[in-house]
Structure 1
């Protein structure tokens, strides 16, 4: 997810909360502070408001510019309809037009014409070009893939994922594009990586590195039990923030997720689950964490409970 898309996502969540009938004066004040953080924040919120107005389902919320208390009420059906329309219009997955795609819950092996083998996690999309100026190129739009790259020194294999750039001639590694971060886990050989600011680094087998907000982070020992768990049919979470957990789950189910408050975003999850049973994760979250999950058609609303 780009920084712009991430801002729009946050703006949608603020607007849903402000129109839910459950927003407190503190929530409205926090939304106003978020809007005033930067011109980009204000623009994202204005764009979301315009779309809501076009939907004709709800009025543009005065709550964003005035902190007036509202009586608590149940979630109105027109608002739920508007939320679903927003999701349909705005959350069309990136890379829907890509050469290679998997559906949510689908894990598939793909053999490229250069002999490389890719294993794709659910809800993954990428483009493949066999020869671009003497290079083999992959553009990963979303999702996660394990790459077994066929050796060819004369034709480097280049992967672009967000702001991350990965260059190899033949090796095995996993690339996970999750929200505004990219995680590279190298299991064989070595990989050259760089970011948009020109930082470069060599990553060896048994190491992993992340890009956060497009910037390369420091090298870490490979946590194969977590980073590669999906290849063994598992989801492994170790003190993972709840938004990241739901991002992982969206690779296994089509339901979209909206957070209604910051407190829910700060909760963390630890556990091991079957990859093909995302409902087990939801049950565990509801049981172990102080959250409320509200299920609407195609949408899951997440809010703190008490």
Structure 2
């Protein structure tokens, strides 16, 4: 049997190569790792076999009409099995760890002082790179959320890239959150220029927030700092938030992955104020006030509607 540490490394290479971010150098490095020892070759073969199996589960094959009903009966269970297997098999943020200069674990809030004097505060389960490029200060947010207190320097713009979002400043304070649904920008002080790739920048000033949804920049809105920036005060503040968004924030505070078994549970609304370092209080409140069941597994929480 292949040693577990080699399997972990093989999984990281496999995720990287299928992440859409692998460069030619990454592929060459993966091939070199594979050829370094027979044990490496064996580990990658095992990982590739499981990856292929998951692909077959998600890709329905053509079958005679007489077997269509049977296939439909098994589609949902197999899809759920694939989701569970992926959630348990791949540690959250696996490939990001191969790229990010700075990252945090779930539940960890970290301050980082950059060489230019800017102060970054990363929320839990977040990751980013930063560098000086052609006279610009540039940050790439890969995952999670960060608060930026940018040192004023008109000669060197400060650029933040997060998904489709492009944010440009010379000195101010703002918060950027990158999640599955898009990007959220909240400006606490000063003025920033927000845009998407190739689009005209939109000024956003202190006390405003904007969102990118489907790659499109939305109109600025008034900032509810108490709710939007509660994590900076050690609070989780929810006001009529869909349960799926609540758990997305909760994953930054605790290590268990969350999977929803049905759409109805995702849309349920949550209102409340909780301590950032007490995610169990959120779970207890959800179970006692909403029509859902939380099935706890090692490293995983499965959310289902009560029927």
TM-score after normalising by structure 1: 0.74
CA distance in 2, matches of 1:95, 1:156: 26
- CA–CA distance in structure 2, aligned partners of residues 180 and 96 of structure 1: 22
**1:1-306 equivalent positions in 2, closer than 5 A:** 54=53, 66-68=68-70, 83-89=84-90, 91-93=92-94, 95-97=96-98, 98-129=100-131, 131-196=132-197, 198-306=199-307
C-alpha deviation, 1:261, in angstroms: 0.9
State whether residues 55 and 82 of structure 1, in contact with CA within 8 Å, keep that contact through their aligned partners in structure 2: no
Cα pair 1:100 1:126 within 8 Å, conserved = yes
Greater radius of gyration (CA):
2
Compared CA separation, residues 237 and 66, structure 1 to 2 (3 A): farther
8 Å contact from structure 1 (residues 94, 142) kept in 2: no
Worse-superposed segment, 175-184 or 150-159: 175-184
Q: CA RMSD in A?
A: 3.1
Query: Could you give the per-residue CA deviations for residues 149-179 of structure 1, whole angstroms, max 9, x where no partner exists?
Result: 0011110000000110000000011111122
Shift of 1:263: 1.0
- 8 A contact 2:87–2:257 mirrored in 1: no
Partner Cα separation in structure 1 for residue 68 and residue 266 of structure 2? 25
Alpha-carbon distance in structure 2 between the residues aligned to 1:106 and 1:283? 22
Q: Following TM superposition, by how much is the alpha carbon of 1:92 offset from its aligned partner in structure 2, in angstroms?
A: 3.8
Q: Which runs of 5+ in 2 are unaligned?
A: 1-48
* Higher RCO, 1 vs 2 (CA within 8 Å, ≥6 residues apart): 1
- What is the SS of the residue equivalent to 2:304? strand
- Residues 222, 260 of structure 1: CA spacing in aligned structure 2 closer, same or farther, 3 A cutoff? same
Mapped partners of 1:122, 1:230: distance in 2 = 10
CA distance in 2, matches of 1:85, 1:118: 32
Contact 1:84 1:299 in 2 (8 A): no
Question: In 1, Cα distance between the equivalents of 2:85 and 2:246?
Answer: 21
Number of residue equivalences: 253
**CA displacement at 1:242 relative to structure 2:** 1.1
In structure 2, the CA distance between the partners of 1:203 and 1:282, relative to structure 1 (3 Å rule), is same
**Structure 1 residue 199, shift from structure 2 partner:** 4.2
Cα separation, 1, equivalents of 2:82 and 2:161: 36
Structure 1 residue 184 displacement after superposition: 0.8
Q: Secondary structure at the match of 1:96?
A: helix
* Larger helix fraction of residues: 2
CA distance in 1: counterparts of 2:82 and 2:97, whole angstroms: 24
1:95 partner SS: helix
Q: Do the aligned partners of residues 239 and 222 (structure 1) sit closer, same or farther apart at CA in structure 2, a change above 3 Å counting?
A: same
Offset from partner CA, 1:259-296 (integer Å, 9 cap, x none): 11111111111111100011110111111111111111
Q: What is the CA distance between 1:200 and its match in structure 2?
A: 2.2
Q: Which 4+ stretches in 1 moved above 4 angstroms?
A: 50-53, 58-62, 67-71, 79-82
Aligned equivalents of 2:154, 2:83: Cα separation in 1 = 53
* TM-superposed deviation, 1:86: 4.8
Bigger drift between 88-97 and 278-287 goes to 88-97
- Secondary structure (helix, strand or coil) at the match of 2:108 reads coil
- TM (norm. structure 2) is 0.74
Q: 1:158 to 1:52 in 2, by over 3 A?
A: closer
